[in-house]
Amino acid sequence: MDKDLAGFRDRRLAEKIVAKICGTASGMGPVRLMHVCGTHEDAIAKAGIRSLLPDNMEIISGPGCPVCVITAKEIDEAIALAKEGACVTSFGDMLKVPGSASSLAEAKSEGAEVRIVYSITDAVKLAKELPGKEVVHVGIGFETTAPSTAVELLSAPENFYVLSCHRTIPPAMDFLLSEGDTKINGFIDPGHVSAIIGLGPYRSVGEKYKVPQVVAGFEPVDVLYGVLLLLEMIKQKDHGVRNEYSRVVKEDGNKKALDVLEKVFEPCDVKWRGFPAIPGSGLAIKEEYGEHDARIKFRIDVKEAPEPKGCACGKILKGIAYPADCPLFAERCTPDDPVGPCMVSGEGSCHIAYKYGRK
């Protein structure tokens, strides 16, 4: 075997799985698998998994980077709050994401109070330290991080607010399949999200569109094995959900996390970068906790904002373009001077492709 398996801890095992993948895919038509997870993209790019696959196979990246799917309008909302005098807290990556005219980093450099936090708990702590100040945390992320936001909202100080930009993954998968722009023969389901939601939400998507899914872990060999399982399922016309990551993911997920999510949030329709509003894919703060909802408290009125000119993030998040298809990639757009969110976040496809130098 002349494939480069340097990125694998157990090269023998990787070699065996690659050989099985090649054997199983032989004679099949084109196979396009999608993952929806920035950590999977990192593992795939780092280990060079795409270069190990036969020519009739592709792994495309979907909307799995929490920073990348935030819209320019949501960034504009956060900037407007900071300019109105609130202390806006966010994770570091978010500061560089461009809104319609500027970023949170630029607002900060112009004097707005924008602070980087490493967790929502730090933001709540800050609100307690600054009782005379309104502190607004930009809540981003999928089912993995949303429970932490929910827990803090259960007992937040009165000067603490959340701008909820949380989203959920299965409605986005449903939308991609319903729209049909992206040909998808199977999904590699995200390990972290699945640890919270379990397998149930994927089953209904799979049954509706007859698309198999495998929940995979983050070791390169986990991903390879997930790919092999998906190929076998496609061949057998098995449209179920298999769990390759059973050491972490359980059938019913994490009940405590799901309970607190349900207590604090309710599904809402929300736009994702490059997507129209996806039904039920957002997490809005329930009325009972409305006194901590930044959108209710501040009534900010921000218009829809266009994508940065020339940026292909929307297409990349839909799996219909690769980073290298963007004419700005690694030229006008780099991690030091990003044009779009996919180059900002360490989980973004453009950032990852730039980092590992792979097309």
Structure tokens at 344: 């900002």
Q: How far apart are CA 32 and CA 49, in angstroms?
A: 14
- Determine, following the binding rule CB under 6 A, whether residue 329 of this chain makes contact with ligand SF4: yes
Compare residues 88 and 342 and give the one whose CB is closer to ligand SF4.
342
Q: Could you tell me how many residues make up the chain?
A: 359
Neighbours of 87 (CB within 10 A): 20
DSSP 8-state class, residue 290: G
Compare residues 43 and 326 and give the one whose CB is closer to ligand SF4.
326
Compare residues 126 and 342 and give the one whose CB is closer to ligand SF4.
342
Compare residues 73 and 125 and give the one whose CB is closer to ligand SF4.
73
- Determine, following the binding rule CB under 6 A, whether residue 352 of this chain makes contact with ligand SF4: no
User: CB 310 → ligand SF4: shortest distance, Å?
Assistant: 6
CB burial class (10 A; 0-12, 13-18, 19+) of residue 68? buried
- Determine, following the binding rule CB under 6 A, whether residue 340 of this chain makes contact with ligand SF4: yes
Instruction: For tokens 């807290």, name the residue.
Output: 89
- The contact mask relative to ligand SF4 for 275-314 (x = CB under 6 A, - = no) is ------------------------------------xxx-
Q: How far apart are CA 158 and CA 44, in angstroms?
A: 44
Among 316, 317, 319, 347, binds ligand SF4 (CB under 6 A): 316
Among 156, 326, 345, 347, binds ligand SF4 (CB under 6 A): 326
- Determine, following the binding rule CB under 6 A, whether residue 323 of this chain makes contact with ligand SF4: yes
Structure tokens at 258: 């799901």
- Tell me the site size for ligand SF4, rule CB under 6 A: 15
Q: How far apart are CA 99 and CA 76, in angstroms?
A: 5
Q: How far apart are CA 186 and CA 34, in angstroms?
A: 6
Q: Which residues bind ligand SF4 (CB under 6 A)?
A: 311-313, 316, 323, 326, 328-329, 333, 338-340, 342-343, 350
